Copies of this chain bind each other. A is one copy, B any other.
Amino acid sequence: MENQTIFFNHRGVYIRDTASIVGPKESHGPIASYFDKTFQDDILGQKSYEMAEIKMHTSGLKYLMNKTKLTPDQVDAFIAGDLLDEIVGCNFTMREFPTSFLGVYNACATFGEALGIGGMMIDGGFADTVVCSTSSHFSSAERQYRYPLELGNQRTPLAQWTVTAMGATMLTPQKSPVRLECTTFGRVVDFGVTDVNNMGAAMAPAARETLLTHLKATGRTPKDYDLILTGDLGDAGSRLFRKIVSEKGVDLDENYQDCGVLIYNREAQDVGQGGSGAGCSSSVFNSYIYKNMLLGKWKRVLLMPTGALISKMSSLLGESVPGICHAVSFVRVE
């Protein structure tokens, strides 16, 4: 493992299919038509937002099973994470699936970590079918990390909006149009940001670190990708990312975008700097990105989910917000 990067060159790793489900706000954003399913009642008939998130995640995985005509026992492993304490949403979701479960957590970078582990399972010949998924829910995240919604607190200018969404990718060694080519597993980077409402700034240094390491490992430049996509830096965060990457002599063109910016119409939707959450990069990748790769719009995509590694407790202790970012490279196979 040179430069934190793993190439999947043994059996090869391919996407068999994907699933995405999003909530009301996401279903009115600019890429809404790409999601498999949307819902308007964000409590989904449950008694709490946490149970709603579990229902959304479970439904998404069942939808993926139906789409692929597989039963859960034909899946070797589910690798999943979310933002709830003790990733309890996934734990309860996985009650429905009698299959090996690997719980993962790197905050909003979790989807990248899951794809990297899933890729190794497939490429190393350890498994033939692996499902990687993450979720987040605006209302369960707000009350866990911030304030009760009922308080009606004002949001700060640099705040982002946790997406209500799940996304899942099924990986297989069987050839298909989109290949998972390599992964750069990021490290924890802490620039000492203590404003928990400015996650973009906290995560941007980790994203830079991972991008530069990935380019070094692969001998590539940003131009080798048709699309470079951070997870959820938001508008200000992704502008900061572009700037600090440029300070290291690497320029990002129009081919750089951010899932948190793509998912909403910031002008019209009152989402602060844009979307965030473990379900942000997974729902955007498994819909808009994957479907457009199938259509041939992009041939090479570098997905870089970004995570802010905090908890309620760490903020109360006055600690800073370390970031992490994992990069995953996808190629449209001819």
Contact = CB atoms under 8 A, between A and B. Distances in A.
A144 B94 CA distance: 24
A95 to B, nearest CB: 5
Contact of A105 (B10, B105, B187): B105
Interface stretch (A14-22, A294-302, A305-313): A305-313
A161 interface: no
B6 A126 contact: yes
Interface string A235-253: 0000000000000000000
Contacts of A81: 105
A148 interface: no
Contacts of A313: 50, 84-85, 88, 144
B85 A185 contact: no
User: Copy number of this protein in the oligomer?
Assistant: 2
Contacts of A125: 10, 124
A322 B314 CA distance: 27
Contacts of A117: 102, 117, 120
A91 B106 CA distance: 8
A189 B200 CA distance: 38
A165 to B, nearest CB: 19
A147 interface: no
Interface residues of A, number: 60
Contacts of A51: 317
A87 B105 contact: yes
Give the interface centre of A76, A85, A86, A103 by most chain B CB atoms within 10 Å: A86
A85 B85 contact: yes
Contacts of A105: 81, 86-87, 103-105
Contacts of A171: none
A267 B139 CA distance: 47
Q: In the A-B complex, list the 5 residue pairs whose CB atoms are closest, starting with the nearest.
A: A124-B124, A100-B185, A91-B309, A86-B311, A1-B76
Interface of A: 1, 4, 6, 10, 47-48, 50-51, 76-77, 81, 83-88, 91-92, 94-95, 97-107, 110, 113, 116-117, 120-121, 123-128, 144, 185-188, 190, 309-314, 317, 319, 322, 324
